Structure 1
Amino acid sequence: MTCASGYTAEIEAVVDAKLAELATIPVGPLTGRRLELAGDEANVSAYVRRAMISIGQSLGLHLLKATPAVVLDQLCVVSAAKDHDTAGLLKSLINSFLVAYVTPETCDRAFAHLEGLEGLRAEVSEARRKRATTNLATILAGGTAPTKH
């Protein structure tokens, strides 16, 4: 076994573990799996697996391991729906920031854009927190939480 094939096997093992974890997490707003791809389940699963393997090959095993399974799943779904290269999107994001950040003329603007993304992430987190609180209050009042997006 070559070093490359051993590394690929490690990536595939991590991807398989992420997919096994996803199999235990229902689709729906309460779990963060708000979006799903239409089509044959086997084809969708194969696509998500290939996309996750591509992320591992392009960006490394550490990033793949550190990224939550639901986030990887939703990234694959959105990028497929928008016809974007999943791993290429992440690679471009990182490379674009690095090039702009290390260039003295654009360093401050690159950092400002990073702060803007972090602010957007905080907005998403707050909206999710509010949605979860509302759903919990509905359940505690005897109702049922929404099961779809």
Structure 2
Amino acid sequence: MQTGKVPPRLADRWEQQLENVAWWRFEPTVVHGDLGEHQVMVAGDSVRGVVDWMDARVADPADDLAWLVAAAPDDILESILEAYRMRRREMRDPHLIDRARLSSEMALLRWLMYGVRTDNADVVSDGEGMLADLETMLFDDQGDGYRSRQRR
């Protein structure tokens, strides 16, 4: 669907990432499918459980990490990823975080497309604003830590 609402630099970036064959060599695993802060039950400093498994499926493990790369501070993210890697049995996935970032960016696109599909001007405006903010964060020289994490 061509809407003209996606900043061209983001569209080009996503196209390049989707065409990078090396990124897509991963071992599918069982994923939650809708993991976010409201599905993780925490008590004190430890995770006690994960709820709402209705969207569970076999897919890219990066899908479940997308919300973390978008929201977690760098030090927390690194700690979580280290624990995740220690628990996994298959070979190291060098592009796990790259795909997780792409998935988190695509969530913004899905929100915009939802607004377009439902003809909801408020959602469309919100989606356009979030994509503009993402573009600024990724491409402006004054970007924050997310951009620096992208370079790793």
TM (norm. structure 2) is 0.29
Structure with more contact order per residue of length (Cα contacts < 8 Å, sep ≥ 6):
1
- Please say which structure displays the higher CA radius of gyration: 1
TM (norm. structure 1) is 0.29
Structure number with higher helix proportion: 1
